[in-house]
Copies of this chain bind each other. A is one copy, B any other.
Amino acid sequence: MTPTRPAPARGRPRSTTSHQAVLQAVAHLIDVEQLGFEQLTIEGIAAQAGVGKQTIYRWWPDKAAIVMEAIQAGKLALDIGEVPDTGDLTADLRMWMRQARQRVFTEKNMALARSLIVALVASGVTVEEYVPGGSIQEGSQLAQRLESEERAGRLREGIDVEAAAFALLDPVVMKMIAGQVPEPNWFDALVDVIVDGVRR
C-alpha cells in the first residue's frame, strides 16, 4: 500500500523568509499605513516586503487570500476578547459589547476592521469564523457563553443558540462594514432584545 507519499519536493524550496515578509508587509500596510482593502495593492505589498511580484502570485491567488492568511497567522488581530461568565447573561453580554466598542470601533481600528471583513467576504469565508477569534465548530465566544447559560438551565427550551449568536454579532459586524460607530446604548438595546425578546 503506497500511502500517497508527498512528492519529494524537487527544486529550490519555498522561502519562509519571503512568505513571512509578505504577511508582515500586509499587516504593516493595513495596520500602520492605514490602507483599506481596496487601497492595498499587490505591487505595494511586494515593495513593502522586498519581494518580487511573481513570488506573491506563485503562492496566493489574490489579495484576499494574503490578508486571510495574515489574519490566521495572527499578524492582524481583531480580537474582541473573552465573554465573561458571571451568571448574569445580560451583564456579561453588555460587558463584552462594551469591549467590542472600545477595541474595534476605534478611529484607528476601523480601517483594519473593514479591510479584514472585506477580505473575508471576498474570499467567501463566513465572517463569524474569524471575528470572535474562533470558528463556529470550535464554538465562537458568544455561542459558548450561550451554551453555558443553556447548560445552567437558564435558557428557554428549544432555543437555537447559533441563531442567537448571529443575531447579536452580525449587527455589530454590519456596523463595522458600514463604518459607523454606534452609541453605547445601541449595544445595550441589542443585548436586551436578544436576551428578553420583543414580545410583552
Contact = CB atoms under 8 A, between A and B. Distances in A.
B166 A174 contact: yes
Given A163-B193, A193-B197, A197-B195, A174 B178 contact: no
B178 A124 contact: yes
A181 B156 CA distance: 27
Chain A's interface size range is: 35 or more
Copies in the assembly, this chain? 4
Nearest to A186: B163
Interface in A172-200: 173-174, 177-180, 186, 189-190, 192-200
B146 A177 contact: no
B164 A198 contact: yes
A180 B126 contact: yes
A160 interface: yes
Interface in A118-173: 121, 124-128, 146, 149, 153-156, 159-164, 166-168, 170-171, 173
A200 B168 contact: no
Interface of A: 89, 121, 124-128, 146, 149, 153-156, 159-164, 166-168, 170-171, 173-174, 177-180, 186, 189-190, 192-200
